[in-house]
Structure 1
């Protein structure tokens, strides 16, 4: 089997509920997705997607992914898509760094290989661990009253896990966190996520003033060492997200004891296969793990669901249903969501049926000469 055709698309995915707001005025009103399809000489197609959250969240942007995919794609024609690790090494040789550029390609390879084997992707990733994964929802940054109102609405819909965006003015964020905690039912799992927005000084101010609130502290500062300095001064569990970009980061976090949990973003790490490797190591090292991505619709969410449900239940934190965030629908049979839990689609590979006609005209189309 070999890759005979490669297509790539750029698709804007507006948010259902308007702009997504973080601290310091950071906001986006859509995901800007790059979607890749790889078709084999046997007629099987695999799909992949990456979608950065604006240009402020990760060291990634859609125009960069578009340009990078066009550079890498010619090197993949004629290659065996089932040799996923080999293709990953090839991409690293011909295009140094920029893991987000390679993410959708790797995802498409994994999907194609699993479809060719007639097994769901979750089987390739270690086997299914449970039927569904619990979802969380985000309380985006805003006024104290608006955040408390949103938190009440989310928990009123049956969600028991919320992520509260902080990382701005410390005193105001202390009020925000307290108001949200007062607004939700007792026992609600709260993550206070600063998205690396604070200095250690500010993070310790927040932690000291919010000791009475039961929450998990997520990525208070930009670097591992800064987060570690905060961790030493607080009595809350800590999860790191932006700090995890590869194996060296994971090992440093473990060696220093800088966190209790990790959030692994597929595009930040470079694709499904590399995320699976880090996920397995994180589990073996005793971390709690969330597997998600920076954004996307049905394709990316399906990959997130397969990775989440192949993570041991006792080490799994939660997941997010990004395909419900956006107004566009790119596939049939998306990851099924019932209440506050998400499963994986039935069928081989990702299990979804992508609708190419909804993706627009490809910006790249290459075929191997007969």
Structure 2
């Protein structure tokens, strides 16, 4: 089996609920997605990468588009099932920029599983349960509006909320207090600062919210700054933006910085490397969330397969990004049950039946 054709598309995916807001005025109104199609032996694999604006990760769609054009010609004629070999090849011909390689690697994984005639979850270690629990993001805003949104999400069936903080500390204390008071007791709350605070600010927040049950998520930028906060608070801590490589994961574990990690597929360079870090994190005893920076059905399917191949006792939760956007990329999608749990689409590979008519014109279409 040899790679015979590579196409790639760029797609704007507006948000259903309007602009996505984080602290410090960071806002995005859509995912800017790059979708990759790789064909070999009569089969097709799909991958997707979509950054959240230009402020969340060191990634942007225009960079992905340019990088895919550079990498794709080197893959023609290669065996798409040689995943480790192709990862090394991409790193050889295009140094760094893991986000550029993410959609390509996802498509290769999809194609490899389709060639084997199995769902991708099987090749990622085996299925652990029928569904993964979902969380909903309460984006940054006025305390009363955030509380109102949280109540609606609970009514929709969600039992896990990620509350955006990381701005003005006093205001964020009011925001989390309002949300916690508005939702039922037992609702799981993550306070996600998206690395927006100094250790001083994070300690201020923690000190004034001791009576609220929540998980602290990425309060500061660096691993060492988060460690200094960890030493002075009595809340569980999860790191997200700090996990950009295998070395980061080992550093977090060695220093005892966190109880869990959030692994972003595009930040790590694709499904292959995310699986590698996921398995190591599980072996190290960390709780794990596998997700990405954005996308529609293709990327959400990859997240679902990685989530449901994570041991259930080590899996935190997942997110259904395809429900965030107003457009469709496929005729099917990972099923969502009762607004709070997500399963896998039926079929080999990702299980996604992509409708190319929805994708627009390819920005690259190459053959040998």
TM-score bucket (shorter structure) = over 0.9
Task: Specify the alignment match of 1:322 in structure 2.
Answer: 321
Task: Specify the alignment match of 2:11 in structure 1.
Answer: 11
Between the aligned partners of 2:121 and 2:143, the Cα distance in structure 1 is 41
Task: Specify the alignment match of 2:123 in structure 1.
Answer: 124
Deviation at 1:43, TM superposition (A): 1.2
Task: Specify the alignment match of 2:191 in structure 1.
Answer: 192
Task: Specify the alignment match of 2:255 in structure 1.
Answer: 256
Question: How far does the alpha carbon of each residue in 1:110-168 deviate from its partner, in whole angstroms, 9 at most, with x for none?
Answer: 00000011000000100000000000000000001100100111111121100000000
Between the aligned partners of 2:66 and 2:267, the Cα distance in structure 1 is 17
Per the normalisation by structure 1, the TM-score is: 0.99
Between the aligned partners of 1:347 and 1:359, the Cα distance in structure 2 is 21
Between the aligned partners of 2:182 and 2:146, the Cα distance in structure 1 is 9
Between the aligned partners of 1:349 and 1:268, the Cα distance in structure 2 is 22
Task: Specify the alignment match of 1:71 in structure 2.
Answer: 70
Between the aligned partners of 2:330 and 2:351, the Cα distance in structure 1 is 10
Q: How does 1:28-107 map to 2 (within 5 A)?
A: 28-40=28-40, 42-107=41-106
Do structure 1's residue 288 and structure 2's residue 284 form an aligned pair? no
Task: Specify the alignment match of 2:21 in structure 1.
Answer: 21
Between the aligned partners of 1:115 and 1:80, the Cα distance in structure 2 is 14
Q: How does 1:187-336 map to 2 (within 5 A)?
A: 187-336=186-335
Question: How far does the alpha carbon of each residue in 1:269-292 deviate from its partner, in whole angstroms, 9 at most, with x for none?
Answer: 000010000000000000000000
Between the aligned partners of 2:328 and 2:64, the Cα distance in structure 1 is 21
Secondary structure (helix, strand or coil) at the match of 1:158 reads coil
Between the aligned partners of 1:356 and 1:250, the Cα distance in structure 2 is 37
Between the aligned partners of 2:145 and 2:91, the Cα distance in structure 1 is 45
Between the aligned partners of 2:27 and 2:192, the Cα distance in structure 1 is 15
**Number of equivalenced pairs:** 367
Between the aligned partners of 1:365 and 1:222, the Cα distance in structure 2 is 39
Deviation at 1:5, TM superposition (A): 0.2
Q: How does 1:150-189 map to 2 (within 5 A)?
A: 150-189=149-188
Q: Which runs of 5+ in 1 are unaligned?
A: none
Secondary structure (helix, strand or coil) at the match of 1:92 reads helix
Deviation at 1:332, TM superposition (A): 1.4
Between the aligned partners of 2:302 and 2:315, the Cα distance in structure 1 is 16
Secondary structure (helix, strand or coil) at the match of 1:331 reads coil
Please tell me the root mean square deviation across aligned C-alpha atoms, in Å: 0.4
Secondary structure (helix, strand or coil) at the match of 1:45 reads strand
Deviation at 1:211, TM superposition (A): 0.3
Deviation at 1:104, TM superposition (A): 0.2
Between the aligned partners of 1:37 and 1:356, the Cα distance in structure 2 is 10
Secondary structure (helix, strand or coil) at the match of 2:59 reads coil
Per the normalisation by structure 2, the TM-score is: 0.99
Question: How far does the alpha carbon of each residue in 1:276-321 deviate from its partner, in whole angstroms, 9 at most, with x for none?
Answer: 0000000000000000000000000000000000000000000000
Between the aligned partners of 1:365 and 1:187, the Cα distance in structure 2 is 51
Between the aligned partners of 2:187 and 2:218, the Cα distance in structure 1 is 20
Secondary structure (helix, strand or coil) at the match of 2:257 reads coil
- Which runs of structure 1 show a deviation greater than 2 angstroms over 4 or more consecutive aligned residues? none
Between the aligned partners of 1:333 and 1:359, the Cα distance in structure 2 is 15
Between the aligned partners of 2:62 and 2:300, the Cα distance in structure 1 is 21
